[in-house]
Amino acid sequence: MTENQGERPEDRTPEDPQAGAVWQPPAQPPLPTTPATDGYPPRPVPGPQDRAADAASQTPEAAPAQPTASSAPIDPGPTAQGVPPRPQPPYGQYAFGPAQGTPTGTQQTLPLGEAPVSQKRQKLGAGKVVGIMVAAAIVGGAAGLGGAYAGATLFSSTSETTVAGPSTVTVNDTDSVNQTTGIAAKVVPSVVTISANNGSTGGTGSGVVLSEDGYVVTNTHVVTLDGATADASISVTTSDGRVFSATIVGTDPIYDLAVIKLEGAEDLTPIDFASSADLNVGDTTVAVGAPLGLSNTVTTGIVSALNRSIQIASSAAPDTEQDETQDDGNDRTPPFYFDFGDEGQQPTATETISIAVIQTDAAINPGNSGGALVDDEGNLIGINVAIASAGSSSESGSIGVGFSIPSDVVQRITDEIIAEGSATHGLLGASVMPAASVEGATISGAYLADVSEGGAAAAVGLQIGDIVTGFNGVPITDATDLTAQVRAAAAGSAATVTFVRDGETRSVEVTLGELG
């Protein structure tokens, strides 16, 4: 072979003595061989199909070498026989962390020349764990992923681990699982269907599991049939079909919350709480419950409004004259109703309660009462309590205006009920009315029409005529807002009250009394 053999014509210079010669392609180079050793002739290096063969023959005096194993993570997709596996990127390159309860960066170790498990085997494994994998992925932070990407990633694992998951979330196509599917897989096992009956009247609602041994939060109007009875027969069905009798631990009609205890329950799935104080308008919401008795129903929406307060009629509410909102002579009764699935005529409400709520457009219908409103990670942000109706009753169903009791209030009240059998509520010691209804009003807020002697308001110098515009940082736009925020706080707790007097904005720290 000459010095220029194998060069292309365009690579030669004019001075090249072979510039006019016709270029010939080089002969194919011989296969790489092992060097000759101790007189043995060289041999070709084994190809992919020969990688599992004994390599010790290169050195005949050495002991036969064992096949070495690949230590790189294997790409979970199907790999053709003999094609080298591709290393799997670390989890850190994705937008989510490893799912809880699953191996981190699971590796599959294979002998040389052996391919990963077949695609068919992968699909069978994924089918067994589909529900729990979606839930675990949400816990691990995959909630922000797009549906197609999350589904393709979460259901291609080659792990041999078998996990028993809930059978109430149907997933037919694991390649198109979206965020809501994952949320549902996590939350549905924590939501129960409640049936209450007193012989002549009955109804259905929902509840949320607080503990493995059967404490469940729901609404007072669910377990009392909206005040019709104090000793209803209560039956609870879990998402996986188990049925329990339940007893009432305590009710709180002021905020329409109640705690019941399932008899003989164990291994239930408690809900995870999120702080409702961290919510933004526009955040994703998912409502889970039993509207119209249809258990394990999932609907989606957003947070439509925060710091909303509603006044709603309740037959279970106690008759109290403390901190009553005064009638300003205007009929502005809002069309709010408990979202309660009743089977008979409920009693006519004689009292009203004022509660602070999260407003959502997730579809909430009668029977969703006491069910869960969760965020995009499947954590509880509220207990569904009421709906707005365009008609004369709640029978017209959801119009995209539903209300949930914030999780921070739920957690405080249920903790007190479980510990003490009842919950406390703050008392300001003043009668209020909407400031906008006062003649000559220039701002909105809660107008102090009367201040009780010796009460919390009087103790810090609040006076008749003061207009409260804020309570613990929450804007106050009318009397209902102030009453709802005071009731949400515990008795004896400290609060910051912002008010306007003679056109000047002031703030004062007040220690709330206890609602009797």
Domain harbouring 401, CATH code: 2.40.10.120
Q: Are residues 152 and 223 in the same domain?
A: no
Q: Are residues 365 and 436 in the same domain?
A: no
Tell me, what's the pLDDT at 30? 56
3-state secondary structure 444-476: CCEEEEEECCCCHHHHCCCCCCCEEEEECCEEC
User: Tens digit of pLDDT for each residue in 92-121?
Assistant: 322 222 333 333 333 343 333 334 433 333
With both helix axes pointing from N to C terminus, report the angle between 147-154 and 119-139 in degrees, rounded to the nearest 10: 120
Q: What is the CATH number of the domain that holds 453?
A: 2.30.42.10
User: Of the residues 389, 423, 457, which one is the last residue of a structural domain?
Assistant: 423
Determine, yes or no, domain membership for 162: yes
Q: Using only C-alpha atoms, what is the Rg of the chain?
A: 34
The DSSP code for 44 is: B
Rounded Cα gap, residues 438 and 134, in angstroms:
55
Q: Are 389 and 330 in contact (CB under 8 A)?
A: no
Domain housing 368: 187-423
The fraction of the chain above a pLDDT of 90, given in percent, is 52
Rounded Cα gap, residues 161 and 172, in angstroms:
21
Q: Are 497 and 484 in contact (CB under 8 A)?
A: no
What are residue 207's phi and psi, to 5 degrees? Answer: -150, 165
Q: Are residues 282 and 390 in the same domain?
A: yes
Give me the tens of pLDDT residue by residue for the chain, a chain 516 residues long: 444 444 454 544 444 444 445 555 555 555 555 555 444 455 555 554 444 444 444 444 444 444 444 333 433 444 444 444 444 433 332 222 233 333 333 334 333 333 443 333 333 333 333 444 443 333 333 333 222 222 222 222 333 322 233 447 888 888 888 999 999 999 999 999 999 998 888 899 999 999 999 999 999 999 999 888 888 999 999 999 999 999 999 999 999 999 999 999 999 999 999 999 999 999 999 999 999 999 999 999 999 999 999 998 887 777 654 555 544 434 444 556 565 555 444 445 568 899 999 999 999 999 999 999 999 999 999 999 999 877 655 456 788 999 999 999 999 999 999 999 999 999 999 999 999 999 988 999 999 999 999 999 999 999 999 999 999 999 999 999 999 999 999 999 999 999 999 999 999 999 999 998
Tell me, what's the pLDDT at 174? 85
Which one-letter amino acid corresponds to residue 358?
A: I
Rounded Cα gap, residues 248 and 480, in angstroms:
29
Q: Are residues 300 and 368 in the same domain?
A: yes
> Which of the residues are catalytic?
221, 256, 369
Determine, yes or no, domain membership for 78: no
Residue with tokens 């394990």: 296
Determine, yes or no, domain membership for 86: no
Tell me, what's the pLDDT at 117? 38
Determine, yes or no, domain membership for 96: yes
Q: Are residues 469 and 365 in the same domain?
A: no
**pTM across the whole model:** 0.67
Q: Are residues 392 and 430 in the same domain?
A: no
Q: Are residues 219 and 344 in the same domain?
A: yes
User: Of the residues 381, 408, 423, which one is the last residue of a structural domain?
Assistant: 423
Determine, yes or no, domain membership for 48: no
Q: Are residues 114 and 149 in the same domain?
A: yes
User: Of the residues 142, 177, 212, which one is the last residue of a structural domain?
Assistant: 177
Q: How many domains does the chain have?
A: 3
